[in-house]
Structures are given as structure tokens and as C-alpha cells.
Structure 1
Amino acid sequence: MNTNFFNQIAQLEYTGVLQLNISKGIENNLVVSVLVLNDACGDKAKNLIPSVTINATPQEFDEDFFQKITTPVQKISGLLVDMVAFEKQMDEVRKQSAMEKEKTDKAKKEQEAKDKKYKDAMAKVDELEKEGRHRDAWMKVPDATEYPEMAEEILKRKKSLSDKFSAPNLFASVDEISQPLPDKVEQSHLIEPEREVDSLGEQAI
């Protein structure tokens, strides 16, 4: 007897596994439940999807069983496929979110380390300035190119320190040495040799 049962099953459009449960009902009826399963779907909500259940006589099943289940099976299968796609999208979102969070955390840690380095350097500058070592303090001031957001503060601090060991103070003694000798000193140096000559002349006589 050729019923074409499996040929008609093959023509159904569904993704996953089609599970049929057949049990006997009252008055020679049959109860058939059709359940569409999709293992790719990890959403527990899929367990809430009901099976397609039909209670009819064997003759009625032979006449229009596939007409009754075709639309529900396609809808359930499509719903499960959509749930799988949604899960994949959510996984991608979570992945991207985790990557963004990792990037944010990394940038935050790098900024914190940079801020600490700046604060430590400026604390050393303060220490050296208190000790009167202004030139050493000036050398320890961070480079403004490394901290563009603090450039104004850095430049002001460098100028403040450089003013305390400026060139006029350092070379004041040299300027004093370069001043011309007084006239009296120069004249005394010119007269002294003549006295020596007279003295020698007197000794010679």
C-alpha cells in the first residue's frame, strides 16, 4: 500500500527535527502531536512552544493530515530559526560589548598610570625646589609633549624655576671682573717702574 506519507513529510518546509507522537484516543480516534525541535536554539523559551495536536479518526488523518500540520509546522520552524538568529546577534553584541569594555578598561588603566607618573614627577620637582635645587627641579619637570593636557601648567612651572637660576645671577661675578680698573690704580702702576729706576740709579752712583 502506497500512502506517500514520507514523500509528503519531505515536502514540508522546516528546519531541525520533526517529532510525531501517536496515541489512541476514545472511540477509535487517534491523537497525533507534532513537535518541531531545533537543537541550534539555546533559548529556553523554545520549551514553551506547544506541539501541534490533532484528534481525529484514521480516515480523517489520511484525508487531510498534512494540510492541517503544514502551516503550523512552518510557523514553529520559522520561529525557532528566528530565535537562533537572534541568539547569534546577541552573542555578537555581547562579544563587541566585552571588547569595548576591555578597550575602555585598558585605556583607563593606561591613563591612571600616566597620571600617577605625572604626579610622582611633579612631587619630585616640589621636593627639589624646597631643597633649593632649582636647576635639578627644572630638569625633572615632565615633557609637555607627553602631557599635552597639562602643557600650560608644565610651561609655567619651568619658567618659574628657570627664573630662579637665570643667567644674570650666574654670571654676576664675571661682569664684576670685567669692569675697567680705576685711573689711580693704572697711574700707580705706571709710576712704580720709574721709582725702581731711580733707586737703581742711586745705587749705581
Structure 2
Amino acid sequence: MKRDEFSRPYLQRTCPEGVVPEVWQAFAECADCRDSAERQQKWMNYLAIHAKYYDKQGNRLAPQSQPINSQIMNFFQQLDALDLQGDLKIVVTKNSDRLIVSVMLNNPKCGDKAANAIVPLILKGTAEELDKGFFDNIAAPMRETSSLMVNMEAHLKSVATAKEQAAMNKEKKPTETKEVAPPPPVDMKQLQFDQAMSKADELAKAKKYRDALNKLPAATDYPDKAEQIEAKRKEINGLALQGTMFDTSTVEKSTVEIA
């Protein structure tokens, strides 16, 4: 196949060597289709045609000597391709030159009574018309019905599980909770005092003595702590004078004896 053929629609491409032209035609129609509903029908048609010439492993089937056997096999292969969950009931009634086909899907595992409201799908037509359009007309409705019943059953199971869990929770004894005493109220004035003194110590350690003195709280704001503030002020002043001519920490005391 030439390189530029990959950019062309499948219907305009050459059938690959070894592929049955009828199968390639059906595949190309499906691949080029853009409508989702129509594409689903074309895909089912492709599967049906593919099953006429190949098995599920992709191996080419030997030509059938009796066409009717091929048609019967093709019918059940298409049923299998629908992948429905449940029992598919098909009733065929002949009315003059036309056939009335009733198709009903029932899932015994679905316990929801709402499933009983689903009515059979009725198709009418000649045998030839039904041969051509039977699977195209039942594929989407039967798949939707199958999915609906599976979801209904899953919903019922989830409700049952929720009820069991609720019953288990009721049986559990409530755990006793101890009352926790509320924390004592914070004395904001004391907190501010402690923070100022702590900051003054921190600045003094960093040898920022002037900043440390400025950070000390005012004695007028804390008259009950005036002595503590003054002691801290003297301590910082003493640190600031260390190593200077005013440092009195290293001066030895002398005694004078009077004869």
C-alpha cells in the first residue's frame, strides 16, 4: 500500500492482499462513518460479514457447501457478539407473507420489579427484510436493556449493603466521651510582659543593648513588676559596660587598715 493511502478515507483505499473484499468493504464503511448510532449498525454488519469468512481467531473458514448452514452459524455468531446479560427470547409469528418477530430480554438475576415494565421489541417485515435488518434493529435496544437490568441489580445490592451496614451501626454501643475542661482564659497583659522581657533578653545576648533596653516594658504599665523591670535594666546596663573603663565587675575591693 502506498504511503499516501493512509491519509485517504478507507473506502478510497485498496483492499489489502489476502483480505476478503466484502469484509474490507464492510470495515471501510464502518471506519469512515462519523454518526455514532449509524456506526454501531455498520459495526454489527461488519462483524456479521467477518464471521462468514473468519473464525474468532481470525483464521479463514473453509467455504461452506450448504449456504443455509453458513446463514445459521452467522445468526448465532451475531447473537454472541451482542454480549447480552440474561435470557433472550425470540418469538416468530407468520402473518400472511410477513413475519412478526418479538424479541424480549430477561435477566433472572435482576430483582427489581421495575424490570417487569419493559415490553418486548416487535419487528415486522418479510423474511428477506428481516434477514437484512434484524440485528441492525435489535442491537442498540437490547444492549441498552441489558445494561439497564445489570444496573438495577447493582443498585438493589448496594441498597441491601447499606441497610446491613446501618443495622450494624445501630447495634454498636455508643462510646462514652469524656468532657474536656475548657482551657483557662489567657491573661493578655501578662503575655505581653513575658514577650517583652524575653525579647529584651534575646537582644542583650545579641549585644544589642540599646534595643534591649528600649524593649523593656515600662514600669508605669506594670507597677507590680517594677522591681523585676529595674533589675533587668541594671543587668543589661552591666552587660553593656563590660570591657569599658566604667566596668566595675573586675575592680578588686581593697581594705585600709588604720593603725
Q: TM-score, normalised by structure 1?
A: 0.49
Structure possessing the higher relative contact order (Cα contacts under 8 Å, 6 or more residues apart): 1
Structure with a larger share of its residues in helix: 1
Q: TM-score, normalised by structure 2?
A: 0.39
Higher CA-based Rg: 1
